[in-house]
Each structure stands twice: as structure tokens, then as C-alpha cells.
């Protein structure tokens, strides 16, 4: 097991280098002047000053080498647009917000989605199942910007239940965005859990347990649930990564100062260092998220545990 | 599985349909923040909440380039002069008086200016700050504002590898002969220089704070300011709060205690916030398609701006009379009423209404509406007219709709325009300079830096970095050069009038087609509507705001 | 959505398990090809939900293809006298703020969205098949290397990566979106194909073919790929919604197709500006998206049930 972990950890280094290289090369290709925000052209002398200050005219391999050095010493460079902040500052102040938003969304997804799936599976083919799957399918198909807009309209504007229309400050302000972001994962989990539970319920060992006369709850609780939840865990990893990296729509609509919103604006503004830094951050999240889930899976599923030793 | 799923599917679609029906039926917005307007009795709680449209990229006067930074800075710092809201003439602020003798300007500072750390504000602060903004190492975007000062451009363009920058720095003609006197020598008499000094880039910074904290000196705990308000809170991308500073020289005249700011970049979100009563002033803006609904309410407010929305034409590709024809074919009023919708003013010239001397400058040749017959006859005068032209616009909302209306207008006189959209940053690079051969016509706007027509008219000189039309007329350049040397306002406005005639007059060259003059659109709660004002340069002065009940 | 390589297998399982049917998704030894497909078709037809979903799907596709041809309205012309015209026989979905007929614009937007969806999905399948077949068939060190490379690409987050790719081009049009979305999400397809090839490779009939001396392209073309077809078709209908949502999101934030060019995402963005007064403007394109996604998913469910001979057990 430890050998597996170490090998995977070692593999992340070349993967990360590759990610940096891809992003770096692509950013160099994107045309546009980060210092020209309005129609006003930048006078030549000032452009020269800025290029010098940010080393933009150095040969590309020098820039790349410096950048890689920076990444591995946790220095992601200065922002070209936000002149008094470095990319590290931006990450420090905004990443926790996105992380929190993603976490709450995920918690919502699990608290609502898993029981929904279980309920649907236990009452398969009955009305409860239909309704549960109705909700789940709605969450799947309805795009999150509509969910967000509807939530704001009904809860914050029309019925005015005490939640603000935007912002991320009081606990009330965190409710709607978390639900809006968590709607899709909730649907995903509901469908997934229902499916795996139905599959497990058909398995021989469950039939055996029933035949033995074990009470239904014990069966469900002990055997079925645990085995059904394993695919949920494995899906959770990449899903959490997807949630965090895809949060920019919710952040824009709810005016949440997260990393997603910054990412989108940095691309339009050609703030190269911020775009690169955030892409790398995302990649790290995805890579380590997957690694964590792999390890977790290795512990959970006795079959893989057998394989490893 | 089958029947169950099919019912589920059908049920879902029914539910969705019901939602649509409900949406189509209802849909009226909630009531906006009510209450009586006007009145005049001061409210007990002098606090307002503002929606800002962007995170300020920097609160360093040398590095700030956008309007949010500019507005925050002008309220937490003390400029030398401010602009009178009605006449736009400079009024004393930190400078209590000034003398202008030809190219020599002397500011006499008040003796009671103070920094929040207790230091007095001196002329030396301004020398330090202005030289700092001009230093090549800082890489200040707005350093060009100072190029009117003798020696400034040379210092700013200094390459430390080749030249002796310290020597050049010493040659910059800014000095402080005594504690409260600031002397500046310009490259030529520039009558607009005093007004230009109202721009945020001319603000002073506190040397101690800057040297101690370096790049981080603008954070709330470190920043040292000298204006009516202090930077109380700055949560990046979320919140900026300004609190009244009782140590300011005229603090007794300031009624507003606190201005909390929420940074909301999305227009619809800002409108929702305002309508839910969460903010008192929405400066983020209103999506153009929502303006018709909000215009009806008394919270809607509209201010004229110093800026022109125009279409540039590549004069090498499109002959003269065709350009004139294109200008007359466009119905400006219709575009404003139906697409832009923010009560913009139809532009009959490049110099915007509101610029001093406008009555002498304007040409009155172009009309707010289209004159199709005149356009056709003008086009008829050109044998080699280009029938198929390209029209480049950037892909922000509104521009393409206007382009479509213009395309339809040109089609009426027989010109086929192909609209090409581009993303903003690439669009700017593509246009030039040097101007791109593939571009026949393009869309751009120009917002004034300061309140004098020279900064509009100088765009169309041969060497201007903002001239993407290939227009180069030595007579025009001569006029602009003459204007720069003319100190007397009335005389100068006459020259501006001649220059404008060369652009958009009866014998004008029409390198550009003006479409409309900009406006600023806000939503303001009745409690602050009267005292909150935005001037032509998109600046608002919080020290004049009072909350009434 | 990018899924971790290690979990690919389990995603498949989960995806199969979704329908409540036990068993793995690998096709068993093929019966004569013709009767497998015919059986599948019969099974699909018997599945009422899948049939309804297919009808909805085809109806939507027909709508987006046909309406712009026959519509008397120019979807780009502005006519303010008709702004926000209500639902009527002349305008089945009303008009937008510029007086443009929504019924036509939604169809046009559908062409763009579904067109991008299908094109990108097919491109994804194409690249995936090539990459996965090479990797799976040749195996060994090459397979290992190719999969490691894929792991690296998995580290690139889907939507941010697509955004960067779109910015490489001067203007974002349909082709740019297709390229961006394809580049950002072909990895899963490659994995799926590879997984299938590897598990099929060990079958007796393949060994037999090899023993007889069949060339690699014959084995691939005749035996392996056709048997992956089932899984691939299901995969197409699962990938399609993801691509369409991706396009909708990008257009919604302004980094994709921009107005006045219509795509469902850009129509939703337009609609959100005025939703407080005219909610249908955002509801209608969103419903169109939901309609497509739901029907695609139910079709995928049905196809999976139909094509896997071992799942009929309810």
C-alpha cells in the first residue's frame, strides 16, 4: 500500500510539469496585451517599462525555467493586472472561499442525494421512487444558472425569506449558492446510489441473508449500504474536483469572491500569471483529489486490498 | 423500469411546463426600496452601501487605471484641485490657489493638509509622488499624463541599461521651493493642465508608507491617506468600506459617516441587490435590455459622460464621399432609443457635448437621424466606391446589435457590410497600430481623461497611437499644434472648432463616424438621490453626500 | 466531466448499475452480428421509456433542423415594434427584446448547441478510438506510457482548459467550441475504448484469429471494434449532455458563442438580463437544454439495457 502511495506521489511531479508546460505554451499563444484594458493604446515607452518589469520579453525558455522554479518554491509570481497583489495573495484570499462553497455544496449533495437514492431503491417502482427520481433527473438536466436564478428569484426576491441576493458573508448568504452548486452532484449521487443499491440488492449474498432470516434493516444497513457506497466514494473524488473547478457560474451570479470568478476574468484580461497559477492550482486539486480517492478506495474495497499485498 | 421511467419522464416535462406557465404569467419584480424622496432632513444613520462594478486593480495612484480605483482614491486622498460639478472649472482643494505664467505653473498648498499618520501634507510629497509615477521601474500605465511636464517623457522612457536615469530624473521640472509651494514647468503653455491635475494620477502618496511597505502599502492596515475618508475595510473582490476621517482639514463639512461597498461585477446581480434593498447606490450598471423596465422608476438616474462612441473608417480603403455617405445613412436616434437605451445623446461630432467651448466647436452638419437621400447622392459622387466592406466589433453585449442596425442602414444605400466579431483583447491588438489592412470599418469609443477637447482631437493626428484609420492630414496636425500653444480659452476653442470641421464638417474628411455620446446610468435610493452625483469624468464626491430620511 | 483513470472501470459499472441491472458491461462472445443488433432493437422498442425518450429527442433534433429553413422570420433582423411580443400563433414562443421570433432563434440556437454537441462527441469518439485502440491493442510498455500521458492530461481541469483553448482563437465560433470541448474531454473516451479492447483481447476468438494469422487491422476492424460499438453508442449519449452543458456554461459567461449568434447558452445569457420582467427569456433556452439532456440520458439507459444481453433480469 505504501509503495503504491509513494509511486503515485512521485508520478504527480512529471504530471505537474506537463501541466505547467501545456499552460505556459498556450498562454504564450494567446494574443492580447494585458496592459491595454481600454481602447487607449499604451505608449511605447510605458509598454517597454512594463515588459521589462515583468520579464515579458525575455526568451521563452528563461521565462519557463523561472516559472517552474517559482512553482516548486510556492511562488506563483505577481499579477499583471492587480498590481499590488501576487498570485499567492489572490489564492490565499480566494481559494478558501471556493473550497468552502464546494464543501457546502458537496455536503448538501450527500445529505440530500444519498438518502434520496436509498429511498428510491428501497421503494423501487413505487410512487416514492418516481418522485425521488423526478427530483434527481431535474437536477441533472436543468443547467445550474437556471437553478441559481430561480432560487434567487423565489427565495431572495419574491418570498424574501431572509436570504440576501448575493454575497458570501453571513451564514444566510451561504445557503442559496451552496444549494445551487450542489444540485447537480445531488442528482448524480441520487441516481448512482439508487443504481448500485438495486444492483447489490439482487446479489446472491443479500438473498442469502434474507433467506437466513436477518431483519431487513440489518441487511440494508450492514451489507447493502456499505457495498453500495463504494462507487459513491470513487465518484466523489472527481466530482468534488469538478465542482470546485466549475463553480465560476455560481460565483458570478452570486457575487462570491472565489477563485472561479477570478479565473474567468484573468483569462479575458490576459493576466497570464494569474491564469497559469490558477490552472496549476486546479490541476493540483484534481490530481490530489483523485489520489486521495484511490487510496481511500484501496482501504474500502477488500478486493483491491488483496490485490495490493 | 419502463412504465415507471416513462411516467417519471412525463411528469418531469409536465412540471417543467408548469414552471414555464407560471413564469410567463407572473414575473413582475418586487417593489424597489420605497420611501419618500427628497425632504431634506438628515437621517440619523449617515451610512450608505454602494455597489462597485469591479475590484480595484490597485489603490496606488501611480498604478490605478480604472474608474473604481479612481473613485476610491479621490475620496480617500486629497487632490490639488477638484472640478466644479456644473462648470467643470477647477476649484481649489488641497491647493488653495495657483498661478499660471505661460508654461510655468505654481500651486500654493493649504497649510492644514494632514496624513493619517500625523505628518503634514507638503509640496515635497507631490514631488516625490510624481517622480515616482514617472520612474521606469514602477511601470505606471498613466505616466503619460505627466508628459506635458518638461523632462518627464525622457525620464519615463529611460532604459537603465543604456542611459543614466538619475540624471534624467534630476532634469524633470517639478520642484518644491518651500514646504507649501509646488512649481512645475511644462513643455508648452497648456491651459488645461490645472484641470488635468484633478485626475487621480496626480495624487500624492506618503513616502514613509510606500518605502516601509513596498507593494503592500495599499492594504487597509498599512495605507496612509489624507482625504475625507479612510480605507476601513478592503476584502479583495468582495468589499470596500470607507469611513469618515475626523482628522481631515474640513471634516466638519462632511456629513456621511460611512460608505460601505460591495463589489458586484454582474449587472443583473447588482440590479437584484438594489431592488432587494441591499445597496443604496448601484454604480455597477444596468444591463441595457433591462433599462426600459428600470427607467420607469424614480430610482433610475442618468448622467452625461465625456465620451464618444464612434465607428472608425480606414481612409485608405474607403473613399471620401463614401465615408460621408455612410455617416449620413445611420439613424443615431433609432440606435439609441432601441438598442443602447440609456438616453445617450446622438453624436453629431467627435467632440462630446459638455466639453468646454462646445458651442463654438460643434459642426451641426451631421443629423441625429438618417438622411438616406443625401447619403445616396453622396455615394453617387464616388465612382470607385467599395461595395463590400468589413465591420469589426468586439463581442461585448450591445455592440453587435448596433452593428446589425448599421449594417441594415448601409444596405439601404447599397453598401454590404460583413460583421466580424472578436474578443476584446484580441480586437485591440488586431486594430493596431499600425492599422490592419483587412479592416474597413471598426467600432471603438473614447472616454476623456480630462476636460479639454485637445485630448479628443489629438487622436486624429498622424502619429497618434490611437489613430487606427490611416488618416494623416498635415493641415489638421498643424491646427492641433497651434492649439497646444494657444493659452487663451476662447481663441483655442475657435481652433478646436476648425479642427472639428475638418473631421465632421461640410467639407470634413470623416475618418470617423460619431454615433453617440456616452452616459452613466445608476440606480439610487431616494435617501441619497439628490446628493449623490457623478460628473462627466465618472467621478463622485462622497464628501458631498448626505442621507436624508 | 473528467473522471479519474483508475475509476473508469467503476464509472462504467456505476453507469450500468444505474439501471438496476447486475453484471458487467463487457459484451460476451458475439453471436452473429446481425441478430445481436436485431435483438437489441427489439429490446429497445419494448422499453417504453426509452422509446418515448427517443421520440422526444428526435422531435427536438427535427425542430432545430427544420424550423430555420421554413421560418418566415430572419433571426437576426431587429424589429422593435415586436419586442417581447407574447406567445401567439404567429410567434409560438413569443419574441425577444429585439423583436426576433424566439421559436426560430431557439431552433437556430439548437442547431449550434446540438451541432457542437454531436460534432464534439464524434470527434471525442474518433480520437478516443484511435488512442484507446493503439494503447489497448499493442499493450505493454507503449500502453503504460500512453496511459501515464493520459493521467497527466486528466490533471487539466475540464472547463478552465476549454476556456484557455477558446482564447487561442481570434473569435469564438462553432469550430472553435468544437475543438476546445473536444480537446478538453477526449480522455475518458480513450480510456473506455482501451478498457474494452483489453478485456476483449483475451477472448478465444481473438486468439483464434491471431493463430490463424489474421493481420492486426483485421482483428481490430472485424472483431474488436464492432464489439465495442455497443458501449460506444451508449457512451455517445452520455457524453453528449456533458458537451452541451459545457458549451452552455461557456456561452453563458461570455467566453463561448456570443450574441447575436444564437446558442442555447448565449440565449440564456441574454435572457438572464431581463428575467425579472420577462422570465420566459431565460426559461425557454434552459428548458431546451434540459429536454435534450433528459432524453439523451434516457436513451442511453435504454440502449444500455438493450445492448447488454445479460441485463434483462428485472
DSSP-assigned letters across all residues of B170-203: HTS-EEEEETTEEEEEBSS--TTHHHHTTSGGG-
Chain C touched by B430 (CB under 8 Å): yes
Q: For residue range C79-112, what is the model confidence (pLDDT) as tens digits?
A: 777 778 888 888 888 888 778 888 888 999 999 9
pLDDT value of position C31: 47
pLDDT band at C1 (very low <50, low <70, confident <90, very high): very low
Contact C48 B10 (CB under 8 A): no
Whether residues A130 and B12 touch (CB distance < 8 A) is answered with no
Nearest in space to B389 (alpha carbons), one of B274, B311, B282: B311
Residue of A nearest to B20 (CA): A150
Cell of B112: 492644514
Do B30 and A160 make contact, defined as CB atoms within 8 angstroms? Answer: yes
Rounded to whole angstroms, what are the CA distances from C141 to B396, B429, C6, C136, C137? 50, 46, 18, 11, 12
* Partner-chain residue, chosen from A14, A149, A231, that has the shortest CB–CB distance to C272: A149
Give B222→chain C minimum CA distance, Å. 35
Q: What is the pLDDT of residues C193-203, one digit of tens each?
A: 888 888 777 77
Q: Do A245 and C157 touch (CB under 8 A)?
A: yes
* Distance of alpha carbon B474 from alpha carbon B485, whole angstroms: 17
> At B79, is the pLDDT very low, low, confident or very high (cuts 50, 70, 90)?
very high
Chains in contact with C, where contact requires at least 3 CB pairs less than 8 Å apart: A, B
> What local confidence, expressed as pLDDT, does residue A283 receive?
82
Q: Answer yes or no: do A283 and C17 touch at CB < 8 A.
A: no
- B397 part of contact set with chain A, CB < 8 Å: no
**DSSP characters for C236-278?**
HHHHHHHHHHHHHHHHHTTSSS-TTS--HHHHHHHHHHTTTT-
Greater model confidence, C207 or B105: B105
Cβ–Cβ gap B58/A84 under 8 Å: yes
Question: How do B300-313 and B345-346 pair as beta strands?
Answer: unpaired
How many C-beta atoms surround the C-beta of residue B469 within 10 A?
27
Who wins on pLDDT, A46 or A301? A46
Tell me how long chain A is. 309
Nearest to C286 among A124, A142, A192 (CB): A142
Is B290 in CB contact (< 8 Å) with chain C? Answer: yes
- Identify whether the C-beta of residue C124 lies closer than 8 Å to the C-beta of residue C185: yes
B157 vs A: CB within 8 A: yes
Considering only the C-alpha atoms of chain C, give the largest distance between any 2 of them, rounded to a whole number of Å.
Answer: 76
Q: State the greatest distance between any 2 C-alpha atoms of chain B, in Å, as a whole number.
A: 92
Mean pLDDT value of segment B130-150: 92
Chain B residues whose CB is inside 8 A of the A252 CB are 265-266, 269
Among B residues 247-266, those touching chain A with beta carbons less than 8 Å apart = 262-266
Report the mean per-residue pLDDT for chain A.
82
B422 interfaces chain C, CB cutoff of 8 Å: yes
pLDDT given at position C122: 92
- Of B5 and B47, the one with more pLDDT: B47
Q: What is the mean pLDDT of residues B290-310?
A: 91
Test mutation, A33, A139, A143, chain C, max C CBs within 10 A:
A143
Distance, C-alpha A111 to centroid of its chain: 18
Tens-place pLDDT, residues B155-172? 999 888 888 889 999 999
Query: CB neighbours of B465 closer than 8 A, spacing ≥ 6?
Result: A41, A42, A43, A44, B433
Q: Determine how β-strand B239-244 pairs with β-strand B229-235.
A: antiparallel
Predicted confidence (pLDDT) at residue B64 exceeds the cutoff of 50? yes
Distance (Å, rounded) from C-alpha C45 to C-alpha C56?
Answer: 15
The answer on pLDDT for B115 being more than 90 is yes
Question: Is the distance from CB of B65 to CB of B57 less than 8 angstroms?
Answer: yes
Tell me the C-alpha distance between B478 and A213, whole Å. 103
pLDDT the model gives residue C12: 46
Contact B320, B509 (CB under 8 A): yes
Question: 3-state DSSP helix/strand/coil percent for chain B, to nearest 5?
Answer: 35, 20, 45
Q: What is the mean pLDDT of chain B?
A: 88
Checking ipTM against 0.90, whether it exceeds it is no
Helix (H, G, I), strand (E, B) or coil at B98: strand
pLDDT of residue C260: 66
Which distant-in-sequence residues (6+ apart) come within 8 Å of A184 by Cβ? A109, A139, A140, A144
- C283 chain-B contacts, CB cut-off 8 A: 19-20, 23-24
**Is residue B38 pLDDT above 50, yes or no?**
no
The 3-class SS string of B495-539 reads HHHHHHHHHHCCCCCCCEEEEEEEEEEEEECCCCCCCCCCCCCCC
pLDDT, position B35:
40
User: Are B15 and A129 within 8 A, CB to CB?
Assistant: no
Smallest CA–CA separation between A92 and chain B, in Å?
11
Task: Report the pLDDT value the prediction gives residue C196, as an integer from 0 to 100.
Answer: 80
- pLDDT of B4 over the 70 cut: no
Question: Span A142-166, mean pLDDT?
Answer: 88
Chain B, residues 336-365, CB within 8 A of chain C, namely 338-339
Read off the C-alpha cell for B312: 472608425
Q: Nine-digit cell at B532?
A: 449623490
Copy the grid coordinates of residue A211. Answer: 433467506
Give CA separation, C91 vs B20, C88, C274, in Å.
16, 5, 19
Residue positions counted in chain C: 314
* DSSP label of B352: P
Min distance B60 CA to chain A CA atoms (Å): 8
Is the CB of residue B56 less than 8 Å from the CB of residue C312?
no
Helix, strand or coil, per DSSP, at residue A307: helix
- Are residues B188 and B484 in contact, defined by beta-carbon separation less than 8 angstroms? yes
- Long-range own/partner contacts, residues B329-332 (CB < 8 A, 24 or more apart): B329/B370, B329/B372, B329/B375, B329/B409, B329/B410, B329/B412, B329/B413, B329/B415, B330/B370, B330/B406, B330/B409, B330/B410, B330/B513, B330/B515, B331/B369, B331/B370, B331/B405, B331/B409, B332/B368, B332/B369, B332/B370, B332/B515, B332/B516
- The answer to whether the Cβ–Cβ distance between C20 and A124 falls below 8 Å is yes
Res C311: pLDDT: 45
Burial per residue of A158-169, b for 16 or more beta-carbon CB atoms within 10 angstroms, e otherwise: eeeeebbbbbbe
Whether the CB of B12 is below 8 Å from some CB of chain C: the reply is: yes
B81 vs B203: CA distance, rounded Å: 10
Neighbours of C221 (CB within 10 A): 12
Partners of B83 in the β-ladder: B90
Q: What's the pLDDT tens digit per position in A17-42?
A: 888 888 888 877 887 788 887 778 88
pLDDT band at B28 (very low <50, low <70, confident <90, very high): very low
Q: Is the pLDDT of residue C19 over 50?
A: no
- Contacts with C280 from chain B: Cβ below 8 Å: 20, 23-24, 27
B203-214: per-residue pLDDT in tens?
Answer: 999 999 999 999
Burial class (CB in 10 A: 0-12, 13-18, 19+), C277: middle
Between residues A239 and B255, the one the model is more confident about: B255
State the pTM of this model. Answer: 0.83
Give the SS3 label for residue B549. coil
pLDDT tens digit string along C256-297?
777 667 889 888 888 888 888 888 889 999 999 999 998 998
For C24, name the nearest residue in chain A, comparing CA atoms only: A199
For chain C, say whether B275 makes contact (Cβ under 8 Å): yes
Which chain B residues are Cβ-neighbours of C275 within 8 angstroms? 268
CA distance B203 to B207: 13
Residue C156 to chain A, least CA–CA distance (Å): 5
User: What's CA A13's distance to the chain center, in Å?
Assistant: 21
Return the pLDDT at C8.
Answer: 45
Q: Number of helices (H) and strands (E), helices first, in chain A?
A: 14, 0
pLDDT, tens only, B251-271: 999 999 999 999 998 889 999
Q: Which of C10, C164, C255 sits opposite A231 (nearest CB)?
A: C10
CA-based nearest residue in chain C for residue B267 = C273
Residues of C in contact with B20 (CB under 8 A): 280, 283-284, 287
- Does A231 have pLDDT greater than 90? no
Q: What is the DSSP letter of B460?
A: G
Percent of chain B's residues with pLDDT above 70:
93
Residue A100's pLDDT band (cuts 50, 70, 90)? very high
Amino acid at each position: 500500500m505504501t509503495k503504491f502511495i509513494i509511486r503515485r506521489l512521485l508520478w504527480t511531479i512529471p504530471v505537474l510539469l506537463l501541466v505547467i508546460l501545456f499552460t505556459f505554451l498556450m498562454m504564450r499563444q494567446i494574443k492580447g496585451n494585458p496592459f491595454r484594458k481600454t481602447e487607449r493604446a499604451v505608449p511605447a515607452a510605458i509598454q517597454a517599462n512594463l515588459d521589462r518589469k515583468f520579464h515579458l520579453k525575455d526568451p521563452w525558455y528563461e521565462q519557463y525555467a523561472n516559472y517552474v522554479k517559482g512553482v516548486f518554491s510556492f511562488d506563483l509570481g505577481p499579477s499583471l493586472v492587480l498590481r499590488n497583489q501576487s498570485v499567492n495573495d489572490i489564492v490565499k484570499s480566494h481559494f478558501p472561499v471556493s473550497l468552502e462553497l464546494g464543501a457546502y455544496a458537496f455536503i448538501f449533495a450527500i445529505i440530500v442525494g444519498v438518502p434520496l437514492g436509498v429511498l428510491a431503491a428501497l421503494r423501487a417502482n413505487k410512487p416514492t421512487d418516481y418522485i425521488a427520481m423526478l427530483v434527481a433527473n431535474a437536477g441533472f438536466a436543468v443547467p445550474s444558472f437556471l437553478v441559481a436564478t430561480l432560487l434567487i428569484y423565489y427565495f431572495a426576491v419574491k418570498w424574501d425569506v431572509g436570504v440576501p441576493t448575493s454575497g458570501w458573508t453571513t451564514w444566510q448568504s451561504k445557503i442559496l449558492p451552496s444549494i445551487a452548486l450542489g444540485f447537480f452532484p445531488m442528482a448524480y449521487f441520487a441516481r448512482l446510489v439508487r443504481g448500485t443499491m438495486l444492483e447489490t440488492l439482487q446479489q446472491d449474498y443479500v438473498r442469502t441473508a434474507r433467506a437466513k432470516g436477518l431483519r431487513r434493516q440489518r441487511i440494508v444497513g450492514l451489507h447493502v449500504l456499505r457495498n453500495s457506497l463504494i462507487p459513491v466514494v470513487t465518484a466523489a473524488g472527481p466530482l468534488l474536483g469538478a465542482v470546485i473547478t466549475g463553480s465560476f457560474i455560481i460565483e458570478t451570479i452570486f457575487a462570491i469572491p472565489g477563485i472561479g470568478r477570478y479565473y474567468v476574468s484573468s483569462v479575458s484580461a490576459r493576466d497570464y500569471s494569474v491564469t497559469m497559477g490558477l490552472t496549476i492550482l486546479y490541476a493540483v486539486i484534481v490530481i490530489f483529489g483523485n489520489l486521495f480517492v484511490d487510496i481511500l478506495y484501496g482501504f474500502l474495497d477488500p478486493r483491491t486490498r488483496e490485490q495490493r499485498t | 423500469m419502463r412504465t415507471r421511467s416513462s411516467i417519471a419522464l412525463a411528469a418531469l416535462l409536465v412540471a417543467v411546463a408548469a414552471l414555464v406557465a407560471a413564469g410567463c404569467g407572473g414575473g413582475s419584480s418586487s417593489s424597489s426600496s420605497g420611501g419618500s424622496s427628497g425632504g431634506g432632513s438628515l437621517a440619523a444613520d449617515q451610512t450608505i452601501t454602494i455597489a462597485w462594478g469591479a475590484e480595484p486593480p490597485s489603490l496606488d495612484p501611480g498604478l490605478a487605471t480604472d474608474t473604481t480605483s479612481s473613485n476610491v482614491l479621490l475620496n480617500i486622498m486629497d487632490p490639488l484641485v477638484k472640478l466644479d460639478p456644473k462648470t467643470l472649472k477647477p476649484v481649489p482643494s488641497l491647493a488653495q490657489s495657483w498661478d499660471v505664467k505661460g508654461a510655468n505653473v505654481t500651486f500654493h498648498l493649504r497649510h492644514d493638509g494632514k496624513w493619517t499618520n500625523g505628518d503634514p501634507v507638503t509640496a515635497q510629497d507631490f514631488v516625490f509622488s510624481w517622480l515616482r509615477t514617472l520612474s521606469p521601474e514602477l511601470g505606471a500605465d498613466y505616466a503619460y499624463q505627466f508628459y506635458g511636464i518638461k523632462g518627464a517623457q525622457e525620464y519615463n522612457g529611460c532604459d537603465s541599461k543604456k542611459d543614466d536615469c538619475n540624471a534624467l530624473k534630476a532634469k524633470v521640472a517639478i520642484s518644491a521651493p518651500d514646504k507649501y509651494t509646488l512649481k512645475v514647468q511644462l513643455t508648452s503653455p497648456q491651459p488645461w493642465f490645472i484641470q488635468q491635475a484633478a485626475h487621480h494620477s496626480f495624487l500624492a502618496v506618503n513616502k514613509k508608507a510606500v518605502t516601509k511597505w513596498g507593494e503592500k502599502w495599499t492594504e487597509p492596515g498599512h495605507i496612509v491617506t489624507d482625504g475625507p475618508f479612510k480605507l476601513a475595510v478592503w476584502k479583495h473582490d468582495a468589499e470596500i468600506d470607507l469611513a469618515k476621517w475626523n482628522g481631515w482639514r474640513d471634516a466638519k463639512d462632511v456629513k456621511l459617516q460611512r460608505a460601505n461597498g460591495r463589489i458586484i461585477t454582474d449587472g443583473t446581480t447588482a440590479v437584484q441587490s438594489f431592488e432587494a434593498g441591499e445597496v443604496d447606490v448601484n454604480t455597477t450598471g444596468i444591463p441595457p435590455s433591462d433599462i426600459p423596465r428600470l427607467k420607469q422608476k424614480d430610482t433610475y438616474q442618468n448622467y452625461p459622460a465625456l465620451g464618444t462612441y464612434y465607428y472608425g473608417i480606414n481612409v485608405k480603403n474607403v473613399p471620401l464621399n463614401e465615408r460621408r455617405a455612410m455617416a449620413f445613412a445611420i439613424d443615431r436616434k433609432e440606435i439609441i432609443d432601441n438598442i443602447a437605451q440609456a438616453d445617450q445623446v446622438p453624436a453629431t461630432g467627435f467632440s462630446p457635448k459638455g466639453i468646454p467651448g462646445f458651442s463654438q466647436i460643434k459642426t451641426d452638419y451631421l443629423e441625429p437621424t438618417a438622411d438616406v437621400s443625401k447619403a445616396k447622392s453622396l455615394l453617387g459622387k464616388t465612382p470607385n466606391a467599395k461595395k463590400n466592406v468589413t465591420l469589426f466589433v468586439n463581442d461585448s453585449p450591445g455592440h453587435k446589435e448596433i452593428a446589425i442596425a448599421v449594417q441594415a442602414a448601409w444596405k439601404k444605400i447599397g453598401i454590404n457590410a460583413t460583421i466580424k466579431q472578436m474578443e476584446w483583447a484580441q480586437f485591440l491588438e488586431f486594430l493596431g497600430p499600425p492599422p490592419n489592412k483587412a479592416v474597413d470599418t471598426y467600432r471603438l469609443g473614447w472616454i476623456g481623461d480630462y476636460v479639454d477637447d485637445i485630448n479628443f482631437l489629438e487622436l486624429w493626428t498622424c502619429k497618434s497611437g490611437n489613430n487606427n484609420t490611416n488618416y494623416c492630414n498635415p493641415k489638421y496636425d498643424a491646427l492641433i499644434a497651434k492649439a497646444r500653444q494657444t493659452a487663451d480659452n476662447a481663441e483655442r476653442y475657435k481652433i478646436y472648432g476648425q479642427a472639428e470641421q475638418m473631421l465632421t464638417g461640410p467639407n470634413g474628411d470623416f475618418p470617423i463616424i460619431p454615433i453617440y455620446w456616452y452616459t452613466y446610468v445608476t440606480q439610487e435610493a431616494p435617501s441619497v438621490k439628490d446628493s449623490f452625483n457623478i460628473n462627466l469624468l465618472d467621478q463622485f464626491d462622497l464628501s458631498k453626500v448626505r442621507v436624508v430620511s | 466531466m473528467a473522471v479519474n483513470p483508475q475509476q473508469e472501470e467503476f464509472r462504467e459499472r456505476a453507469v450500468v448499475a444505474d439501471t438496476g441491472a447486475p453484471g458487467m458491461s463487457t459484451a460476451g462472445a458475439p453471436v452473429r452480428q446481425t441478430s445481436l443488433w436485431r435483438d437489441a432493437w427489439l429490446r429497445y422498442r419494448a422499453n417504453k421509456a426509452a422509446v418515448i425518450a427517443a421520440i422526444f429527442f428526435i422531435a427536438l433534433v427535427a425542430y432545430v433542423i427544420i424550423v430555420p429553413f421554413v421560418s418566415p422570420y430572419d433571426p437576426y433582423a431587429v424589429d422593435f415594434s415586436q419586442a417581447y411580443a407574447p406567445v401567439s400563433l404567429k410567434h409560438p414562443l413569443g419574441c425577444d427584446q429585439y423583436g426576433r421570433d424566439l421559436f426560430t432563434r431557439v431552433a437556430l440556437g439548437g442547431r449550434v448547441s446540438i451541432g457542437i454537441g454531436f460534432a464534439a462527441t464524434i470527434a471525442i469518439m474518433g480520437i478516443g478510438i484511435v488512442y484507446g485502440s493503439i494503447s489497448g491493442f499493442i499493450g505493454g510498455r507503449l500502453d503504460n506510457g500512453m496511459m501515464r500521458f493520459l493521467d497527466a492530461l486528466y490533471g487539466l481541469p475540464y472547463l478552465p482548459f476549454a476556456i484557455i483553448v477558446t482564447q487561442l482563437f481570434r473569435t469564438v465560433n462553432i469550430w472553435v467550441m468544437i475543438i476546445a470541448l473536444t480537446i478538453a474531454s477526449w480522455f475518458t473516451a480513450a480510456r473506455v475504448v482501451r478498457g474494452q479492447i483489453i478485456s476483449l483481447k483475451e477472448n478465444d476468438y481473438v486468439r483464434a484469429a491471431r493463430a490463424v494469422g489474421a493481420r492486426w487491422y483485421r482483428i481490430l476492424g472485424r472483431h474488436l471494434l464492432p464489439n465495442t460499438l455497443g458501449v460506444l453508442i451508449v457512451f455517445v449519449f452520455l457524453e453528449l449532455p456533458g458537451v452541451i452543458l459545457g458549451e452552455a456554461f461557456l456561452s453563458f459567461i461570455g467566453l463561448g458563442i456570443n450574441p447575436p449568434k444564437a446558442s442555447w447558452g448565449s440565449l440564456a445569457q441574454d435572457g438572464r438580463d431581463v428575467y425579472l420582467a420577462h422570465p420566459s427569456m431565460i426559461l425557454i433556452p434552459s428548458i431546451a437544454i434540459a429536454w435534450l439532456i433528459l432524453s439523451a440520458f434516457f436513451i442511453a439507459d435504454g440502449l444500455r439495457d438493450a445492448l447488454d444481453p445479460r441485463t434483462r433480469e428485472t
